[in-house]
């Protein structure tokens, strides 16, 4: 597993940053810098996931049993990274995948 990030080059959202470790693009937590995985992989696969109830998210939110909430948190600082609404029988979303043409990535 990659441990040391050399530089950040794009804050993807306010909780996730695309950075590099050597020549390898990685996803990190913006708050603490914990590496969540390679850019070509799904960062959600390495982040802890909890399933808050609709009641935890607000009094006016109503969902039926076909859906669930997936809240991904940073394993380094416990910051909430992302909240998804998914059908119960679906795998977590994959936002993007980078092909193996990493040498053409301009930093």
Do you know the residue count of the chain? Answer: 107
Tokens 């092909």 correspond to what residue?
99
pLDDT in the model for residue 98: 55
pTM comes to: 0.75
Work out the average pLDDT over 4-9. 61
Residue 75 makes CB contacts below 8 A (sequence gap 6+) with 34, 36, 46, 47, 48
pLDDT in the model for residue 78: 95
Residue 39 makes CB contacts below 8 A (sequence gap 6+) with 18, 24, 25, 26, 27, 96, 98
pLDDT band for position 5 (cuts 50, 70, 90): low
């Amino acid at each position: 597993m990659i441990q040391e990030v050399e530089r950040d080059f794009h804050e993807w959202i306010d909780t996730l940053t695309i950075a590099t470790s050597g020549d390898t693009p990685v996803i990190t937590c913006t708050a603490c810098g914990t590496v969540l995985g390679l850019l070509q992989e799904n960062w959600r696969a390495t982040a802890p996931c909890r399933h808050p109830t609709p009641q935890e998210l607000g009094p006016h939110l109503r969902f039926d049993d076909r859906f669930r909430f997936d809240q991904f948190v940073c394993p380094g600082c416990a910051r909430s990274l992302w909240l998804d609404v998914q059908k119960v029988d679906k795998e977590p979303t994959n936002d993007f995948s980078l092909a193996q043409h990493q040498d053409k990535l301009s930093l």
